Amino acid sequence: MASNLNPNWAQLLETLKSNGSKKYFSKHSQRSDGATETTVLGKRKERSNENSEAVKPNPLVPTSSDCSLTDAVAMDCEMVGVSSLGNKSALGRVTLVNKWGNVIYDEYVRPLEHVVDFRTKISGIRPRDLKKAKKFNVVQKKVAELIKGRILVGHALHNDLKALLLSHLKKDIRDTSEYTPFLKEGRSRSLKNLASQFLDVEIQNGEHCPIQDARAAMLLYQKNRKQWEHSIKDFIRLKEKQKKRKHKKKSKHGESENVVASSQRNCKLRDGCPFCNHGNSVECRIDMKNLIGEASCRICQESFSTTVTALTEPIDIYSEWIDECELVNYYEEDGK
């Protein structure tokens, strides 16, 4: 039969016999000089292994399927623009995740005012998303139920709470924009920056995902939980000292002497500024509509803001400012 083979086939058979067929199918073949020659197939296999080793697991992917309501929850909101110019923010979407990073609530919200700017490049919200969105008061009530009595984690939570028209106990707030070890030269850093440095993960590359952002904030908290909770206990102890000192001051001078004016929830305090120490320079403003209180010095322009309730008095805002300053000094002296 060999004589009937096509000359080309006959030549190929001779070549295979002379070179040895294993050379074409083995991963490596021995050369005459003792070196190992790698075949094309071998290179592809090695490259595949290199790629598999280069892929890093995403730390924001939950490691548990537990979707229960935990003692700590993280929240993130996305805003849309309302008012005639679209420069006023209104709630467009709210997301809550539990301590494992699993979603426990995620809803689009229909703002009370007409939406002028959906801010899609940042918010990721489109007109179609709000067509069947839930009413604001329905979402507000549900979120209030979910966060009540729990540790609330997030980034710049005052903005989210303001959009929801809700307040939360300061002792139960864990804000990654305010945690001292996360600050840079005393200033807040973006969540994107914190995630990149402390979690080695990139977020917010384009449209923001509130689920991803809430998970990043929660993971930052969980990784620093022990130290963070210790600092909160220190803060509470300082707060108790401040209360005792404030009560002594009130009993000695009378509350009316501390506050010089105020039916408009706008007043000046006789106490000095914690930064420049000028007396009679601190003014307090309480905005009950947005539940925001602010203390500022008209001399050095330093200021402090916090959330308030219907029972908050100007002296409470000032005392909280002093507490924050003492807490910062405490960490600096302690080298934390």
pLDDT band of 63, cuts 50, 70, 90: confident
Type of residue at 18: S
Question: Is 320 part of any domain?
Answer: yes
Domain identity same for 115 and 158: yes
Angstrom distance (rounded) from CA 34 to CA 48:
27
Cβ contacts of residue 326 below 8 Å, gap of 6+? 238, 242
Number of continuous H segments (helices) and E segments (strands) in the chain: 12, 13
Q: Is residue 106 a part of any domain in this protein?
A: yes
Domain coverage including residue 9: 2-54
Together in a domain, 77 and 159: yes
CATH assignment of the domain containing 269: 2.20.25.190
**Digit-coded pLDDT (tens) for 142-172:** 999 999 999 999 999 999 999 999 999 999 9
Averaged over 87-116, what is the pLDDT?
96
Range in 84-98, 251-265, 316-330 the model is least confident about: 251-265
Q: Is residue 304 part of a domain?
A: yes
Q: What is the pTM of this model?
A: 0.60
Among residues 223, 251, 281, the one where a domain terminates is 223
Report helix, strand or coil for 226: helix
What is the structure's pLDDT at 159? 96
Nearest to 293 by CA among 271, 275, 319, 270: 319
Phi-psi region of 149 (alpha: psi -120 to 50; beta: other; left: phi over 0): left
Q: Does residue 59 form part of some domain? A: no
> Is residue 289 a part of any domain in this protein?
yes
Alpha-carbon distance 211 to 106, whole Å?
8
66 assigned to some structural domain: no
- Residue 260 is predicted with a pLDDT of 38
∠ CA(143), CA(285), CA(329), 5° rounding? 85
| Residues 196 and 148 placed together within one structural domain of the fold | yes
- Domain membership of residue 259 (yes or no) is yes
Residues 157 and 298 in one domain: no
Domain CATH number, residue 205: 3.30.420.10
Pair 246, 219 in one domain: no
Domain count, the chain: 3
Percentage, residues of the chain above pLDDT 90: 48
**Could you give phi then psi for residue 101, rounded to 5 degrees?**
95, 5
What DSSP element (H or E) covers 134?
strand 134-135
Looking at the fold, whether 162 and 103 belong to one and the same domain comes out as yes
3-state SS string for 48-83: HHHHHHHCCCCCCCCCCCCCCCCCEEEEEEEEEEEC
pLDDT at 27: 47
Q: What is the pLDDT of residues 161-200, one digit of tens each?
A: 999 999 999 999 999 999 999 999 889 999 999 999 999 9
Please tell me the least confidently modeled range out of 15-29, 39-53, 160-174, 240-254.
39-53
Write out the two tokens for 107.
């809803």
Whether residue 61 is contained in a domain is answered as no
Res 262: pLDDT: 39
Considering the domain architecture, whether residues 115 and 146 belong to the same structural domain is answered as: yes
Domain match, 205 and 265 both = no
Residue 89: CB atoms within 10 A of its CB come to 20
Same domain, 129 and 203: yes
**Residues 208-257: tens digit of each pLDDT:** 999 999 999 999 999 999 999 998 888 778 777 777 776 665 555 554 44
**Mean pLDDT of all residues in 28-33:** 48
Residue 322 sits in the same domain as residue 197: no
Residues 266 and 163 in one domain: no
Euclidean distance between CA atoms 61 and 203, whole angstroms: 13
Say yes or no: 93 and 196 in one domain.
yes
